[in-house]
Amino acid sequence: MSSNEIAEAEFVNVAGIATTVEEAVRTRHSVRDYESRPIEESVLQDLFQKSLRAPSWKNSQPWKVHVVSGERRDKMASLLVERAKQGEPVPDTIWPASFPASAKKRMFDLGMKIYGVAGIERKDKEARDNFMLRNFEFFGAPTAVFITTEFDLNFYIALDIGCYLNTLMLLARGYGLGSVPQAALSAFPEVVRLELGLSESEKVVCGLSLGYPKENSDLNRYHTPRESTQDIVRFYR
Ligand SMILES: Cc1cc2nc3c(=O)[nH]c(=O)nc-3n(C[C@H](O)[C@H](O)[C@H](O)COP(=O)(O)O)c2cc1C
């Protein structure tokens, strides 16, 4: 599928700075093609300080946030890619294995559309595998973020960390930054722990790539669809 075959409505340009919350929400989407230029140190400090305003169960703040840039980022990428080539994920968390049929369709559609904008034929397994490995190169982003917790892994830890991730991703839009949350970055927690010098008790819950989105990239312009308000939201009076 060429990018021309995808309806214009499914594209949004994520370059530029969001100046309102609404704009941050509307222009936030998963960015999978980044400029290599580093994120300024002052931006990183400001962004991560503000991100800690995220809410959590009884203000428990179960997260530790590891922000990896520069040579450490490059080394982490090559270690993760090597490890991913060797075998299956062994995450600390339980990855979901079954989904309702309606969600399966959305997930299938997502795969098809992403391969389409990436110029990958569905039958080209090698190209699909290589694209999957891009997760571990942070899709070219200059900064990788790993979220860990020493808390028992439970439902509310996942909610708390979800709140943290979304707070971080929306704030990032205010600096013109793009991001993609990645379960993939929790696939090989032993690599992350070893490289960052973390104890066994730090479980890797999720990761995120962060950087300036590459402009004029079909991958970045693709905006995933959503179900209608009518189908999802019910108002009661
Ligand atoms: C918890 C979570 C884990 C995700 N893991 C990955 C991942 O490993 N790799 C990836 O490319 N995208 C990942 N995504 C991004 C989703 O595919 C994306 O959010 C979804 O398709 C909606 O698209 P949008 O973010 O562009 O709006 C993840 C998203 C979430 C919320």
What pLDDT shows up at residue 9? 47
Q: Is 25 in the pocket of ligand 1 (CB under 6 A)?
A: no
What pLDDT shows up at residue 12? 76
Q: How far is the CA of 75 from the centre of ligand 1 (A)?
A: 24
Q: Which of 31, 114, 180, 209 to mutate to test the pocket of ligand 1 (most atoms within 8 A of CB)?
A: 180
Q: Which two tokens stand for residue 139?
A: 């899709």
CA proximity to 114, closest of 58, 32, 180: 32
Is it the case that residue 80 has pLDDT exceeding 60?
Answer: yes
Q: Is 180 in the pocket of ligand 1 (CB under 6 A)?
A: yes
**For 33-60, what is the mean pLDDT?**
98
Residue 95's CB is within 10 A of a number of other CB atoms, namely 9
Judge whether 203 and 149 are in contact, CB under 8 Å: yes
Position 216: which residue type? Answer: N
56/105 Cα distance (integer angstroms): 32
Is it the case that residue 1 has pLDDT exceeding 70?
Answer: no
pTM, full prediction: 0.95
Report helix, strand or coil for 129.
helix
What is the average pLDDT score of the chain?
94
DSSP secondary structure code for residue 11 in this structure: B
**For 58-82, what is the mean pLDDT?**
98
State the closest ligand 1 atom to the C-alpha of 184, by its place in the atom list counted from 1: 8
High-pLDDT (> 90) share of the chain, %: 90
Q: Is 148 in the pocket of ligand 1 (CB under 6 A)?
A: no
Q: Is 182 in the pocket of ligand 1 (CB under 6 A)?
A: yes
Q: Which two tokens stand for residue 184?
A: 């993939």
Q: Output the CA torsion 174→178→184→190 (10° steps).
A: -70
Residues in the chain: 237
State the closest ligand 1 atom to the C-alpha of 32, by its place in the atom list counted from 1: 11
Which residue would you say has higher pLDDT here, 4 or 28? Answer: 28
Q: What is the pLDDT of residues 174-205, one digit of tens each?
A: 999 999 999 999 999 999 999 999 999 999 99
Judge whether 119 and 219 are in contact, CB under 8 Å: no
Report helix, strand or coil for 144.
strand
Q: What is the pLDDT of residues 90-112, one digit of tens each?
A: 999 999 999 999 999 999 999 99
Is it the case that residue 8 has pLDDT exceeding 50?
Answer: no
What pLDDT shows up at residue 83? 98
Q: Is 184 in the pocket of ligand 1 (CB under 6 A)?
A: yes
CA proximity to 208, closest of 177, 163, 165: 165
Is it the case that residue 2 has pLDDT exceeding 60?
Answer: no
Ligand 1, atom 18: nearest CA belongs to which residue?
30
Q: How far is the CA of 236 from the centre of ligand 1 (A)?
A: 31
94/103 Cα distance (integer angstroms): 18
Q: How far is the CA of 88 from the centre of ligand 1 (A)?
A: 19
Residue 33's CB is within 10 A of a number of other CB atoms, namely 22
Judge whether 13 and 26 are in contact, CB under 8 Å: no
What pLDDT shows up at residue 10? 61
**For 141-148, what is the mean pLDDT?**
98
Q: How far is the CA of 181 from the centre of ligand 1 (A)?
A: 5
**For 49-58, what is the mean pLDDT?**
98
Q: What is the pLDDT of residues 113-132, one digit of tens each?
A: 999 999 999 899 999 999 99
Q: Is 183 in the pocket of ligand 1 (CB under 6 A)?
A: yes
DSSP characters over 21-83: HHHHHHH--B---B--SPPPHHHHHHHHHHHTT---GGG----EEEEEEHHHHHHHHHHHHHH
